[in-house]
């Protein structure tokens, strides 16, 4: 055990003290520096140590740090809400609204309750079940865990969770139907329709999905047509579609929101992480005009609230981050920086244990397999992802490891999601560090 007053994530692990950040680098109190190849956890988009953000937060704090949303709105929250809606698909622009939270899990909780109240406002009081996918993650609070399908993160809390229904993941590298695109005809999307037919469709309220699955599957993107098919099934069955863009939103995949790659119009979009790039705890639910209209026609009051929702200082941070993204044209940079990183990482594919390098924009994953031809994973006990992470840290590079992508338990991958400012040289540093890490974890 290490000595600390903090209730650490892992009592058996020693955590260095981070003292400074600059661009893609983090410095600790022992003078070591680390290249932040995962943006911590796909959070940091504009880079560390951008002074303008702190200044904007200090200015807002000096003006007014807090005003309760039961009594006041604040100028930074109003401004950021309008800016997010302007970036969103067309169905958010004319009459959409934004509900700010302190992070992604609160955004998921808020969306689940919004869905329920939307159906009550619309006279559909039987609808309450929010369907989701196996092998997904939507947050750590109980409602968010209920809709998540991440086996390990759910396991200790199973007795506490509602079970509303999970359908198949969309994961071509380990297809749950053992099929191949396009011959599969998107069986994984049709699984939503199959589920609805077999499980009291009149009680279904919404479907939530990560457009590109982040932590759980290591940047698994859907094939062309998947998102459109899902949107169509939701519309046909009168259920709402929630795009959880906590990881993929705010430019990470090369568009403001990942759903814009497929031109679909979800009823709600969740953001977190990149919306304030880690400078403040902030998340949001973008609510489309159609959902807002049901509240306007109905009670006009959402039975929900957090003391710190739409916090003036956090939304000021969000505005300053968006100013920085726009001024430095960082949304536009993601595609080319993502290609540089993808090209650098693809050199790892010559290693016998690197099965797949995947992803979109600056949300990339590397999966490790025991047998490349069968895609067989390593046994869980081998702890491969964590060992690669540790070996990469020894090389000065930070990654985001996960286990369980194959069946919830087995399957090792690391996620790479660096700041949008990452240079070509830094991409090569990451690839070289991973090559050395692999040599250490899998000695010849
Ligand atoms: C897709 C997705 N949704 C929700 C969350 C939960 O966000 P938070 O950790 O800010 O509560 C995460 C966090 O990793 C996420 O990746």
CB neighbours of residue 265 within 10 Å: 18
pLDDT at 40 (0 to 100): 98
User: How far, in Å, is the centroid of ligand 1 from the Cα of 104?
Assistant: 5
State the pLDDT at residue 53. Answer: 98
What's the confidence (pLDDT) of residue 152?
A: 87
Ligand 1 atom closest to Cα of 144?
4
Cα 351 to averaged position of ligand 1 atoms, centre (Å): 31
Q: Which atom of ligand 1 is nearest to the CA of 245?
A: 1
Predicted pLDDT at 350? 97
Torsion, Cα 223 435 401 255, to 10 degrees, reads: -40
Instruction: Give residue 2's pLDDT.
Output: 64
Beta carbons of 264 and 211 less than 8 angstroms apart: no
Nearest alpha carbon, ligand 1 atom 3: 138
Q: 213: CA distance to ligand 1 center in Å? A: 11
Give the strand pairing for 283-287 and 97-101. Answer: antiparallel
Q: Which residues pair with 270 in a beta bridge?
A: 244, 285
User: CA-to-CA distance for 249 and 271, rounded, in angstroms?
Assistant: 6
Ligand 1 atom index nearest CA of 105: 11
Which pTM was predicted?
0.98
**Which residue puts its alpha carbon closest to atom 10 of ligand 1?**
104
Mean pLDDT, consecutive 10-residue segments, the chain of 444 residues? 88 95 98 98 98 98 98 98 98 97 98 98 98 97 95 91 96 98 98 97 98 97 98 98 98 98 98 98 98 98 97 99 98 98 98 98 98 97 98 98 95 98 98 98 92
Q: CB of 343 within 8 A of CB of 349? A: no
Nearest CA to ligand 1 atom 9: 104
Tell me what pLDDT residue 397 has: 98
Token pair recorded at residue 139: 């947050």
Distance 363 CA to ligand 1 centre (A): 14
Q: Which two tokens stand for residue 163?
A: 């079970």
Q: Which residue from 38, 109, 138, 314 has its CB within 8 A of the most atoms of ligand 1, so it is best to mutate?
A: 138
Position in ligand 1 atom list of the atom nearest CA 215: 16
Pocket of ligand 1 (CB under 6 A): 41, 103-105, 108, 137-139, 210, 214-215, 244, 246-247, 272, 283
How far, in Å, is the centroid of ligand 1 from the Cα of 274? 11
Give the number of the atom of ligand 1 that is nearest the alpha carbon of residue 210. Answer: 1
Other C-beta atoms lying within 10 Å of the C-beta of residue 162: 13
pLDDT at 444 (0 to 100): 82
Rounded to the nearest whole angstrom, what is the distance from the C-alpha of residue 105 to the centroid of ligand 1?
A: 6
Q: Given this model, what pLDDT does residue 226 score? A: 98
């Amino acid at each position: 055990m290490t000595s600390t007053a903090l209730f650490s994530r892992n009592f058996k692990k020693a955590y260095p003290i981070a003292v400074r950040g600059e661009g893609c680098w983090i410095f600790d109190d022992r003078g070591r520096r680390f290249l932040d190849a995962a943006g911590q956890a796909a959070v940091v988009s504009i880079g560390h140590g951008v002074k303008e953000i702190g200044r904007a937060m200090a200015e807002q704090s000096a003006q007014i740090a807090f005003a309760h949303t039961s009594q006041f709105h604040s100028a930074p929250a109003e401004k950021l809400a309008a800016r997010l809606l302007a970036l969103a698909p067309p169905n958010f622009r004319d009459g959409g609204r934004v509900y700010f939270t302190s992070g992604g899990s609160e955004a998921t909780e808020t969306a689940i309750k919004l869905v329920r109240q939307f159906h009550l406002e619309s006279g559909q009081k039987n609808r309450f079940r929010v369907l989701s996918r196996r092998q997904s993650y939507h947050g750590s609070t109980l409602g968010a865990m209920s809709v998540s399908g991440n086996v390990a993160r759910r396991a200790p809390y199973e007795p506490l969770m509602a079970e509303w229904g999970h359908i198949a993941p969309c994961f071509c590298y380990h297809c749950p139907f053992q099929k191949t695109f396009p011959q599969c005809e998107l069986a994984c999307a049709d699984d939503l329709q199959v589920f609805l037919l077999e499980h009291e469709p009149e009680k279904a309220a919404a479907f939530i999905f990560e457009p590109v699955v982040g932590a759980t599957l290591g940047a698994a993107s859907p094939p062309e047509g998947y998102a459109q098919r899902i949107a169509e099934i939701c519309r046909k069955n009168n259920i709402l579609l929630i795009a959880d863009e906590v990881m993929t939103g705010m430019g990470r995949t090369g568009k403001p929101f990942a759903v814009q790659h497929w031109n679909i119009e979800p009823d709600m979009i969740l953001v977190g992480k990149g919306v304030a790039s880690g400078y403040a705890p902030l998340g949001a639910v973008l609510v489309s005009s159609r959902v807002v209209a049901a509240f306007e026609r109905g009670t006009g009051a959402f039975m929900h609230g957090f003391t710190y929702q739409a916090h003036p200082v956090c939304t000021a941070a969000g505005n300053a981050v968006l100013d920085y993204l726009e001024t430095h044209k960082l949304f536009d940079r993601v595609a080319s920086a993502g290609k540089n990183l993808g090209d650098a990482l693809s050199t790892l594919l010559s290693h016998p244990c690197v099965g797949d390098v995947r992803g979109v924009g600056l949300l990339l994953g590397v999966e490790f397999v025991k047998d490349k031809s069968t895609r067989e994973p390593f046994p869980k006990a081998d702890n491969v992802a964590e060992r690669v992470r540790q070996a990469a840290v020894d090389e000065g590079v930070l990654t985001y490891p996960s286990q369980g992508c194959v069946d919830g338990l087995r399957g090792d991958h690391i996620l790479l999601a660096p700041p949008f400012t990452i240079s070509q040289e830094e991409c090569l540093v990451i690839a070289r560090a991973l090559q050395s890490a692999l040599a250490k974890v899998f000695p010849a």
